[in-house]
Structure formats: C-alpha cells, structure tokens
Amino acid sequence: MRYTRLGSSGLEVSRLVLGMMSFGDHSARAWHLDLDGARPLVGRAAEAGVTAYDTADVYDAGVSEEVTGRLLREVFPRRDEYVLATKVYFPMSDAPGDRGLSRRHILASIDASLRRLGTDHVDLYFVHRWDYDTPIEETMEALDSVVRAGKVRYLGASSMYAWQFAQAQHVAEQNGWHRFVAMQNHYHLAYREEEREIVPLCLDQGVGVLPYSPLARGLLTGTRTRGGGGSTTRSGNDPLARKLYSDADFDVVDALVEVSEGLGRPPAQAALAWLLGRPGVTAPIVGVTKPHHLEHALESLDLELGAGECARLEAAYVPHAMAGPE
C-alpha cells in the first residue's frame, strides 16, 4: 500500500479509500452486502493496508454506518489506525428540518452518525451536497463548531460547482473557521468535466481530490453494454447509470479495453491507474462487492501508464453535461 497526505493538510491516507455504500441492508438493494457479507472484504482491505473508509448517514438509512463502525472496530485494534469519513445533507426521516446544512441538522446529524458508528469522532466530515436554502455562513460556522467540539477532525465537500466551493472557502477564511481540506467528486475516464474548474481550484487551494464512482458504476469494467444492458446484478438494475452515460461513452470503454489488453491487465486496473495519475487526485473511493473487485483495485497501485497509453485513453472522450452538483 502507498500513503499520501490529503492535499496540503496533515492527514495521511492510503491511496485507495474503501467506499462502504455497498455494505448495509441487503434488502435495500440486491447488490448490497450485509454485515457477514462485508466482513471478509473489509478484513482483506485492512490486511492490504487500506486505512481510509468512507460512508454516509443516508446510505441504507444509517445501516451502512452501523456496519462500517462494527467492522472497523473488529479489524483495527486502535481507533487511530484508520481514517473514517461520513457525510451530512440528505434527509434521514420525514420530520421537518431533517435535511440540508442548517446548524440544527448538522449538529443533530453528527451526533446520530457517531452513535451509529460507535466512535467519539470522525476524521472527515463531508457536506454531501450544496444547500441552496441555508446561508453558507451558517453552514460553515456549524461545521467549525463540530471540529472545535472534537467530534470531527477535518472537513470535506462533495459534488458542487467551483463557485460554490470557492464561496464556502472564502467565508471560512474570512471568519477564522476551519476550511474544507477534501473534495469528493464525480470524476473518472468517462466523466472528466471536473478537470475544467473544480480540480484546478482544488490544486490552487491545496485541497485533496477523492473521486467517487471511479469505475463509472461498472461502465469501465466492461460489465455494461451499449443500449443500457449489463452482465451483473447492479448493471442490470441501475437507472441512474443510464441517465449518466450514453452510447458515446462506450468509445472510451473500447479504448480502455484495447489498452488494458495490451498491458495484460483488467480494464478496471487501467482505469484506476489513469485516475491515480491525474493531478490533484489523492485517492479514488472504490466500492467492492466481490473479492476480485478489491484485488483489481489493489493491483492498480502498481500499474503506471505511459504517455502514449494515457493519450489513447483520453482521445475518445466527449464533453458531458454537468453531473453531480444538483
């Protein structure tokens, strides 16, 4: 395993983050794994040196946090041996005000997350989306207060426009509040719009980039086909993927398959290796439901693509409409 600092912060993380969204309530989605199904995968990740784990309160209505906390306590003898991230924004009930980034919701949500996770703090606390209904001053002050209370070590943002991120950082700096040190965004070979504004902004601000869905929900593994079909449980039942990706994106997949065959590696490894080599990227957040998913991700760390291979992978890309911030 390789390790690096998260942007210009002092937080050290592994170059792969294990995404825990797939672990929780099997009845919620057919491809989700329950506690017993997730246990060997988390154990193997820890054994391989993965120290960073990412979940959110909204994943399976909190069950993912419960499973995450239980498994990390099982595999790591001490709390300071791993980096734990969770998120706030989406509603956890139908109660009025139980959503967004108001002070009330942030303070209630961090306490609820800590209870489910079974810990007294999280290392990274992400705002899951931008809240158009709450003043950013209120949000950043509330986030600063949970850091000063010792419940959160560092702050992160996810899926927002560059002007929004810049505004949040400016408000925090202006008031002496803690700023975001990480950006979790939608970024991979088949969606590179983040390279236009948000990644350059993160590079300028010393913010670490943690791309989610680095394999495009299976598109970059070869499990999906033109027309919306798929060969796995998830790819056969994933309407969001049909909205995000079109047949034009399969030109990228074709180039990826060609390059990966030349390397003698699976397409997933080449796609992750490309992302790991991009400026500003600290670590992709990889979701796994089978042992080979995790092994391919681990093996991508030892794969270095040449300039020619990268050029071939990038040549087929076509611009996309913005996806993720809304």
CB 48 within 8 A of CB 40: no
Q: How many CA atoms lie within 13 A of 302 on its CB side?
A: 6
Tokens 């093996």 belong to which residue?
A: 299
Question: Which among 3, 53, 59, 245 is annotated as catalytic?
Answer: 59
Residue 319 has pLDDT above 60, yes or no: yes
CA distances, 257 to each of 144, 189, 226, 309 (Å)? 45, 12, 15, 12
Q: What is the value of pTM for the model shown?
A: 0.93
> In the annotation, is 59 catalytic?
yes
Percent of the chain with pLDDT over 90: 87
State in Å, rounded, how far the first CA of the chain is from the last one: 35
Residue 302's SS3 state is: helix
Residue 23 has pLDDT above 60, yes or no: yes
Residue 225 has pLDDT above 80, yes or no: no
Residue 236 has pLDDT above 60, yes or no: no
Domains of the chain (ranges, CATH numbers): 3-218+280-294 (3.20.20.100)
Q: Within 10 A of 8 (CB to CB), how many other CB atoms are there? A: 10
Structure tokens belonging to residue 22: 């797939």
Q: At what angle do helices 267-276 and 250-263 cross, to 10 degrees?
A: 100
Q: What is d(CA 124, CA 86) in angstroms, rounded to the nearest whole number?
A: 7
Q: What is d(CA 81, CA 182) in angstroms, rounded to the nearest whole number?
A: 20
| Interval 144-167: pLDDT, tens | 999 999 999 999 999 999 999 999
Q: Which helix (H) or strand (E) holds 173?
A: helix 162-175
Q: What is the pLDDT of residue 229?
A: 57
